[in-house]
């Protein structure tokens, strides 16, 4: 098939592009940067921004399936940036799909769209969207996901996936931030509980996207649906973070701080950063404090049933691969 990957230069996007190419698909990627290594593998690279409707329209011409991965992530930033990239960008992708006659659209969403500042344990897709958000990221991802679901029609099949804590070699967001803070002595456990959480190894995340596209192609009745996907092995959040840090040789996590204190500190730092117009993300935010102190694991039975999704890599194997990649980076041949 002919596939377009928005955000094709990012962690998930790059791995998705490589997986599509490896099985013989024709792949085009739309990203703000230039990625000659992916072009050398056979991908058609287009420089552009999802906020540019004309660039998105041109990139979508002649495409069978769009994997809309591009997004602005994080717990801090201006509402305008999050809305323009996550919401307007998604509107542009939907419009381009309709105009070009693209058959399917697979959207990379987030479980944070249902996070209501309480434990989530074994919930499925019937869980409602959160009604209050402490950050623009989950709010705009929820709006974008709903746009994708509502765009389902006889002419455009759509589906949204909700992977949680994507990890593995090549991660440029989650693990580097953990390592930087741990090595600086600024990473502390939030709360006294080692709350259970879902994770998903990068190869399994990519596989879920490929299976979603296949399922949409063969079964129009799945259009408009959303699915949680994970490693299907809930693990203690702080245990997992510690094992990832150990795999790459970083310093361990510091002593716990009360979750209520972390939330209050986050609120204070957000107010200070907002008052002084500081662009950098505060050391703690309300969103981070809540995410790090509440259980978040989900029933992925629907993905198993409808998408034939089964995690490809166990957590143990993933950690071994992470350690191997870290050693290779430190001691290149």
The DSSP code sequence of 188-210 is: EEESS---EE--EEHHHHHHHHH
Q: How far apart (Å, rounded) are the C-alpha atoms in residues 129 and 322?
A: 33
What would the pLDDT profile of 239-280 be if each residue is shown by its tens digit?
999 999 999 999 999 999 999 999 999 999 999 999 988 888
- pLDDT tens-digit series, residues 107-123: 999 999 999 999 999 99
Report the pLDDT value the prediction gives residue 98, as an integer from 0 to 100. Answer: 98
* b/e map 156-188, b = 16+ CB within 10 Å: bbbbbbbbbbbbbbebeebbeebbebbeeeebe
Reported confidence tier of residue 332, pLDDT bands at 50, 70, 90 = low
Structure tokens at 190: 């939030």
To the query of whether residue 137 is one of the catalytic residues in this protein, the response is yes
Q: Residue ranges per domain, the chain?
A: 2-168+198-231+296-312
219: helix, strand or coil: coil
Answer yes or no: is pLDDT of 331 > 70: no
The pLDDT score that the predictor gives to residue 77 is 92
Mean of pLDDT values over 9-13: 96
pLDDT digits (tens, 9 = 90+) for 152-207: 999 999 999 999 999 999 998 889 999 999 999 999 999 999 999 999 999 999 99
- At 328, is the pLDDT very low, low, confident or very high (cuts 50, 70, 90)? confident
Which tokens belong to 52? 């540019």
Q: What is the pLDDT of residue 330?
A: 66
Separation in Å, CA 78 to CA 110, 136, 235, 274? 19, 8, 33, 10
- Spot the catalytic one: 35, 137, 201, 309: 137
Using the structure block, give the residue that is written with the tokens 């209501």. Answer: 116
What pLDDT does residue 172 have?
87
Counting every residue written for the chain, the total comes to: 333
Residue 220's pLDDT band (boundaries 50, 70, 90)? very high
CA distances from 246 to 72, 292, 322, 323, 328 (A): 28, 19, 10, 8, 15
State yes or no: pLDDT of 36 exceeds 70: yes
Q: Could you tell me the pLDDT band of residue 300, with boundaries at 50, 70 and 90?
A: very high
For the segment 277-297, the average pLDDT, to the nearest whole number, is 93
The mean pLDDT of the chain is: 96
CATH architecture classification, 2-168+198-231+296-312: 3-Layer(aba) Sandwich (3.40)
Q: What is the pTM of this model?
A: 0.96
Map residue 262 onto helix, strand or coil: helix
pLDDT confidence of residue 318: 97
Three-state SS for 46-96 is: EECCCCCHHHHHHHHCCCCEEEECCCCCCCCCCHHHHHHHHHHHHHHHHHH
Give the pLDDT score at 333: 59
pLDDT at 329: 77
Question: pLDDT tens digit string along 59-103?
Answer: 999 999 999 999 999 989 999 999 999 999 999 999 999 999 999
pLDDT at 289: 95
């Amino acid at each position: 098939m002919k596939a377009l990957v928005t955000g094709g230069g990012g962690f998930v996007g790059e791995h998705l592009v490589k997986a599509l190419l490896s099985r013989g698909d024709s792949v085009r990627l739309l990203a703000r940067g230039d990625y000659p290594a992916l072009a050398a593998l056979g991908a058609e690279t287009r420089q552009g921004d999802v906020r540019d409707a004309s660039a998105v329209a041109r990139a979508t011409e002649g495409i069978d399936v769009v994997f809309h991965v591009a997004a602005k992530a994080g717990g801090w930033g201006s509402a305008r940036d999050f809305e323009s990239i996550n919401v307007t960008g998604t509107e542009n992708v939907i419009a381009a799909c309709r105009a070009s006659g693209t058959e399917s659209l697979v959207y990379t969403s987030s479980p944070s769209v249902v996070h209501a500042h309480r434990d989530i344990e074994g919930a499925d897709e019937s869980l409602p969207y959160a009604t209050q958000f402490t950050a623009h990221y989950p709010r705009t991802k929820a709006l974008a996901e709903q746009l994708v679901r509502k765009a389902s029609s006889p002419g455009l099949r759509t589906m949204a996936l909700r992977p949680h804590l994507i990890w593995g070699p090549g991660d440029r967001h989650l693990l580097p931030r953990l390592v930087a803070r741990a090595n600086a002595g600024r990473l502390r456990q939030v709360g006294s509980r080692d709350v259970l959480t879902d994770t998903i190894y990068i190869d399994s995340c990519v596989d879920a996207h490929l299976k979603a596209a296949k399922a949409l192609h063969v079964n129009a009745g799945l259009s408009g649906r959303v699915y949680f996907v994970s490693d299907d092995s809930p693990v203690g959040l702080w245990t997992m973070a510690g094992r990832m840090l150990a795999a790459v040789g970083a310093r361990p996590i510091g002593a716990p701080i009360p979750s209520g204190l972390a939330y209050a500190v986050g609120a204070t730092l957000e107010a200070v950063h907002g008052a002084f117009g500081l662009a950098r993300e505060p050391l703690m935010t309300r969103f981070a404090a809540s995410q790090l102190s509440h259980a978040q694991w989900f029933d992925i039975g629907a993905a198993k049933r409808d998408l034939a999704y089964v995690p490809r890599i166990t957590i143990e194997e993933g950690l071994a691969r992470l350690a191997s990649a870290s050693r290779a980076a430190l001691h290149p041949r």
